[in-house]
A and B are shown apart, each in its own frame.
Chain A
């Protein structure tokens, strides 16, 4: 009886130990996350929103004399989204979405014709750009024209080849 109880106890202890090991082997987090979820879940929301607002502000200031002189006078930023490689704390990709529209009236029929487009612009980030370096650059004086960290291209260059 004692022998049986000891064997059962040993089995249970071993099973618990194996389960713990299996849990420890499970990946703790995903490799890539939204920048708003870096360094922890939702911990980057404010910082990222501030960066996006600064870029949008810069875009709005130059739009009238640059991109908005083209086919779409009302071109506007819709959304900026970046992914972060959590193993290196670097940016993987940033996409800035824009929309623009134009319209005209047919003088004979009164029909209103519209033309609208969406643009998805990838920021020309250098490989393995540290997230911190990106935020520092955006916090600088001229977020749109400053060179992206470790890159010869600016955010302006990135959208200029896209819009």
Chain B
């Protein structure tokens, strides 16, 4: 009897310890703002997003904003990081645009609006630091993404109208 209880205890304890360790394990993928540690990437990422928005605004009038939505604007950039090797996994850039007009016979305001979610075509295993270095350039949209032959502009063509 005593042997059975001891054997049971020995089998339960390692399992419990393992479960607890697994629960505490850092997630494989995190938001870029939480890399290298929680919220440690906030400022760096915000600056990259800001630079991207500025670059888009300079570009917009002669490119995408000549389409159906002249007020097309960047809403949010969101990226994931693979914590196992410090590389970018995915980046999505959200845009919104609207267009309104007045019906001359009824006075109704007609409005059409759309949201676009564009995938930045990053090279696999782009190191986070290399990604950030690219983002601090003045003319971002025409610049090639690290380790690729594609520009940021190429990621938006086919996504934005």
Contact = CB atoms under 8 A, between A and B. Distances in A.
B90 A97 contact: no
| Of listed B79, B96, B99, B103, residue having the most chain A CB within 10 A | B96
Contacts of B96: 78, 99, 101, 116, 118
Nearest to B76: A101
B100 A81 contact: yes
Given A79-B71, A83-B108, A118-B113, A97 B98 contact: yes
Interface residues of B, number: 38
Interface in A8-35: 30-34
Interface string B65-102: 00000010101101111100000011110101111111
Contact of B104 (A30, A112, A117, A118): A30
What DSSP secondary structure best describes chain B's contact surface?
Answer: strand
Interface of A: 30-34, 74, 76, 78-79, 81-85, 92-95, 97, 99-112, 114, 116-118, 120
Top 5 A-B residue pairs of the complex, sorted by shortest distance between their CB atoms: A92-B107, A110-B89, A107-B27, A32-B107, A110-B29
